[in-house]
Amino acid sequence: MTAPEALGAAASHAFAATFGHSPAVLASAPGRVNLIGEHTDYNDGFVLPFAIERRAWCALASRGNSILRATTTLDDAVAEIGVDDLDPANLAGWSAYVFGVVWALREHGVDVASRGGLDIAVTSDVPLGAGLSSSAALECAVAVAIDEAWDLGLGRDVLARVCQRAENGAVGAPTGIMDQTASLLGQAGHGVLLDCRDNHSEIVPLRFAENGLDVMVIDTRVTHEHVTGGYAERRASCDRGAAALGVSSLRDLGVADLRRAQAALDDETFRRVRHVVTENERVLAAARTLASDGPRAIGPLLLASHASMRDDFEISVPELDRAVEVAVECGALGARMTGGGFGGSAIALVPTERFDLVEAAMLSAFDASGFRAPHIFSVVPSDGARRETL
Ligand code: ADP
Ligand code: MG
C-alpha cells in the first residue's frame, strides 16, 4: 500500500504531465471487502461490506471543448472520446470505467453536453481483479470528482446508482450495487449493512481492533472473469430459480421454502438458490451477532458462508479453499472467500498476535501445494469516498 498523500500527488502529477495544466478537483474512493453476503446483491438480498484503506484517486479539470481525456498511472495510457460519441458501443477497456461514469451521469439526466470537456487522471492502490473492487473505487472516485467539479450536489445514493449503471451499461459487467455503496458510504471502523431491495443501508460498528482482531486478505492472484465468466451464469441460474418458484427475486424466499425449492428445481439450480437463501440469513445473523456478541462471534458464519459458496454456488477455487483451511488451522476465528469468486481473495478474522504465524503458514502451504505465492495484507474498515485537498 502506498501512503495516501503520495497517491493524491501521483494523480495530480500524472494530470499535469499528461495534460499540461493543473487539476481543479481531487477525489478518492476506497475499494471494499465484503465481510459476508456473496451473490446476494443482485438477488435483492443483504450484504455487509466495509470500505478499506486502499483507494482510487482522481484528479480532474474541465476543459473548453467537448472532448473527454483520461490517463491512468497503471500504464500511462491516454484515452479520448468526444462527448457526442459517449455511448457504450464506443467504450472499451479501462477507460470505459471512467467515461462510463460520464455516460451514466448523462443517462441520469445531467446535461453533460453543456458542461464541455474533462481531463481526468486516475491512480489507485486497490489491487486489480483481487475481489476488492478496484472497479467501483475507480468509478466512485471519478463520480465524486465530477460531482464536485460540476457542483451537481448529487446524493451518495444517487452516485452509487450512477456508478453501478456505468459498470453494468458501459463496461458490461452485470454487478449489483454493493461495491459502489460500500465505496461511497463506508465509515472508518464500520461496515455497511445494505438491503439491496430498496438500497436502504445501516452503518454497523465492527470493533475489530478493540477486540484484538485483524482482517487478513489473502489475494490468491488467481484472476477472475466477471464479464464473460461464471458470474453471468450464476446470475442466470438465480433468475431461473426465482421464476420457477414464482417469486420476483430470491430475496422473497426463506429457509422454510427450501423444501419446496428442492422439489421444483433441478439439483444445480436448487443449490444455487439454497446458497442465496442461506447467505441472506447469515448476513442478518452476522449483523445481529456483531451487535450482541461482537466480532469474535461471527467466525462460524464466515465459515458457513465459504462452505456454501464452495459446495452450493460452486464459485470457489482450490487456492481459496486452501486459504480458508490454513487460516482456521492456525487460529483464525473464521475465513471465507470474498468477492465474485473464481479466484480473487479470501479474508480471515485473525487474532492480532497470530497474524504473522498465519501469514507464514499460508505462504508455506501455498508453496507446498504448488500454488502461486499469495499476496497477504490486512485491511482496516475506512472512510468512504471524499473530495481531497489538492
Ligand atoms: P475488481 O473490481 O475486483 O478489482 P474488475 O475486473 O471488476 O476487478 O475491475 C478491474 C478493472 O478495472 C481493470 O481491469 C481496469 O480495467 C479497471 N481499473 C481499476 N483500477 C484502475 C486504474 N487505477 N486505472 C485503470 N483502470 C483501472
Ligand atoms: Mg469489480
Q: Measure the CA–CA gap between 35 and 290, rounded to whole angstroms.
A: 12
Q: Which of 15, 33, 72, 94 to mutate to test the pocket of ligand 1 (most atoms within 8 A of CB)?
A: 94
Please give the number of the atom of ligand 1 that sits closest to the Cα of 133: 2
> Which residue has the CA at smallest separation from atom 24 of ligand 1?
72
Q: Measure the CA–CA gap between 57 and 145, rounded to whole angstroms.
A: 9
- The pTM assigned to this predicted structure is 0.94
Q: Which residues, 6+ apart, have CB-to-CB distance to 70 below 8 Å?
A: 78, 79, 80, 95, 98, 99, 119, 120, 121, 122
Domains plus CATH for the chain? 3-204+382-388 (3.30.230.10), 206-379 (3.30.70.890)
Q: How far is the CA of 346 from the centre of ligand 2 (A)?
A: 15
The H or E element containing residue 365 is helix 355-368
Determine whether 179 is an active site residue: yes
The average pLDDT across 298-310 equals 98
Cell 483464525 locates to: 332
Q: Select which of 125, 147, 179, 312 is catalytic.
A: 179
Average pLDDT, the chain: 95
Q: Which of 28, 78, 97 to mutate to test the pocket of ligand 1 (most atoms within 8 A of CB)?
A: 97
Q: Name the more confident of 243 and 344.
A: 243
**Ligand 1 neighbours (beta carbon < 6 A):** 56, 72, 74, 94, 97, 122-124, 128-135, 138, 226, 339
pLDDT number for residue 76: 83
- pLDDT greater than 60 at residue 226: no
The average pLDDT across 385-390 equals 97
Q: Percent of the chain scored above 70 by pLDDT? A: 98
Per-residue pLDDT tens over the stretch 166-213: 999 999 987 889 999 999 999 999 999 999 999 999 999 999 999 999
Q: How far is the CA of 125 from the centre of ligand 1 (A)?
A: 11
> Which residue has the CA at smallest separation from atom 12 of ligand 1?
135
Q: How far is the CA of 95 from the centre of ligand 1 (A)?
A: 10
Q: Percent of the chain scored above 90 by pLDDT? A: 90
Q: Which of 71, 74, 128 to mutate to test the pocket of ligand 1 (most atoms within 8 A of CB)?
A: 128
Q: Measure the CA–CA gap between 154 and 157, rounded to whole angstroms.
A: 8
* Alpha helices, H only, 191-345: 230-244, 258-264, 267-293, 299-311, 318-329
Q: How far is the CA of 61 from the centre of ligand 1 (A)?
A: 22
Per-residue pLDDT tens over the stretch 20-68: 999 999 999 999 999 999 999 999 999 999 999 999 999 999 998 899 9
pLDDT number for residue 227: 40
Ligand that comes closest to the CA of residue 134: 1
Number of residues assigned to the chain? 390
Cell 445531467 locates to: 110
Q: How far is the CA of 196 from the centre of ligand 2 (A)?
A: 17
